[in-house]
Amino acid sequence: MAAVLAGVVTFVVFKKLRANVAQQQLTQIVAAVNDLPVGATLTAKDVAMVDWPSNMPLAGSFSKAEAVVGKPLIHSIGAKQPIFQRDLGIEGSGIGLSAKIPPGMRATAVKSNEIVGVAGFLYPGSHVDVLATYVVPEHPGSMTQTVLQDVEVLAAGQTIEPDPQGKPQEVNVVTLLLTPEDSQKVQLAGNQGSIQFILRNGTDSKKSEDLTPVRLDQLAGLVKPPAPPAKAAKRAPAPAPPQKYSLEVIQGTKSTVHTF
């Protein structure tokens, strides 16, 4: 009896699950047919429509293949992987590195040496601060200043995608994603002295507002840092004026007021 009852329960549950799967509504989204590298311009042969549960929508996905054809990839995509808006550059923006440059921004190559390149641990997608060491005319010694903060690395050497195994790569040219104004700052700083990159945590976007340049004489202790401004001495409150009293004296029809 137990075996028969278990068989009946199993049959009923299986039948309900099968009915739920059959009743589940599906939609179609655009996915990659094969592995696609960064910079590739999508063609009709590179994409296909795949089924996806309609009750689990994917934000940023596409429902028509025509919407992605002709656009370059700014990230590599695996086979059968859905294609999202964040993976695509603007149509006609080019291939390779140029496809990863948003409108209004610039890719600026900065030359450095292997030693100051954070020991080779600068990857595409890293975020860095840019420090410059230079000499100001008519000022003693050199100084180091933080020129830019929280800058994205677009490419390390000729590599625009991080190494899948995380292997460090020694490079002497790093390409940064900058505004036109920041590009001018980096160019000027590089011509005046040397540039060093300081690696940041990718989730730390906070910028310091109170950074000041450090001079060589300050580093050597030859010059003391400026003392904080002295606080003004508090003045004692002025004494209150003495209280006055008035006395009116009436003699007959004559009235006299005395103040003391």
Residue 57 falls inside a structural domain: yes
Cα 221 → chain centroid? 36
Looking at the structure, tell me whether residues 149 and 189 fall in a common domain.
Answer: yes
Residue-wise pLDDT tens digits, 33-74:
999 887 788 899 999 999 998 888 889 999 999 999 988 888
**Domain assignment of residue 148, given as a range:** 103-219
pLDDT digits (tens, 9 = 90+) for 203-244: 888 888 888 888 887 777 766 656 666 666 667 677 777 777
Distance CA 238, CA 233 (A): 15
pLDDT of residue 3: 61
Q: How many Å apart are CA 168 and CA 249, to the nearest integer? A: 104
The DSSP bridge partners found for residue 148 are: 130
Same domain, 108 and 93: no
We report the CATH number of the domain holding residue 34 as: 3.90.1210.10
Pair 114, 31 in one domain: no
